[in-house]
A = this chain, B = another copy of it.
Amino acid sequence: MYNHSDLKELVDRALKNLSYNQEASKLTDPVKYVLSLGGKRLRPVLALMTCNMFSDKIDEAVLPAVGLEIFHNFTLVHDDIMDNAAVRRSFPTVHAKWDNNQAILSGDVMAFIANDCILQTPPDKLLKIFRVYNKAAVEVCMGQQLDMDYEKAAIVTQEMYLRMIELKTAVLIAAAVKTGAIIGGAEEKDADLLHEFGRNLGLAFQVQDDILDIWGDIKAFGKSRGGDIVANKKTLPYVKAMETATGKQLKQLHDLFSGSEKDPESKIKKVTDLYDQLNLREVTETIAYDYINKAFGLLQKVTVDEKRKKEITNLAISLIGRDH
């Protein structure tokens, strides 16, 4: 069995070894840049882990897995234009370092570089794998659409929010998990169980990310706290706050998110205090834990030896831990 860091290294190496047509080098410079900035490589690592659950031979899964990472980065490049975000992973975003047009076009070509990687799937599994990937890709676009729609929406319910993050984040994680399983030779039933596992894991991961932005351990989390609050992002704590607050508290929240408090640190503190009064840490953690429990219940049903599930179990725990 490969361990987590072996797999991440495999993915990083495969990304580094991608060859690019140099004829229009301005097109691919941003692609190389964005793929060199690191990150957890969560999707390809998960794909390789599920492949390795069923097969000792994982090389056939490497390029399809890398394709998912390239697709993921394609969405980040374009989302950063749409969100007008200047920094990601502590580096300038592509449109900030180059310009919007370059970020659009270099993003576009990443979608086709991702296709190229997916096309390296063993031919007898290509159609199945490509369908899994492409369905997720369309859904991720739908998730980004809902995210944009909800920015302007007066009311976003818990249900709307959870469906949005399911599309925007969870479906691609689910697709990664399923891709690896299929290439590793899993039977349909196990592949479907793992797909569902991935979906629940992805939901738990995103909810936990919302929670950590407010109550996370700054050192372990690796980014400063309260960014979502400052950006008025409609996270799960926000959605639950709007749902449960009444009277004076609701008015305070509306005022804070309408810009009444100009000082970011003060805004973060005031919003967090209100969230605490509303007991939202527990409320939202309960939702995350519900997904986590579902995920592990599904993983348990997969018909391989428990020791082959060890790496993915550890990864899942670290992803949804309180201090990742």
Contacts and interface: CB of A to CB of B under 8 A. Distances in A.
A142 B27 contact: yes
Interface in A210-266: none
Contacts of A143: 24
Interface string A26-37: 110000000000
Interface residues of A, number: 39
Nearest to A142: B24
A81 interface: yes
A137 B27 CA distance: 13
A285 interface: no
Interface string A117-152: 001000100110011001001100111111011000
A112 B126 contact: no
| Binding site secondary structure of chain A | helix
Contacts of A24: 141-143, 145-146, 149, 167
Contacts of A134: 112, 115-116, 119
Given A109-B138, A116-B138, 5 more contacts: A21-B142, A24-B141, A24-B145, A101-B148, A108-B108
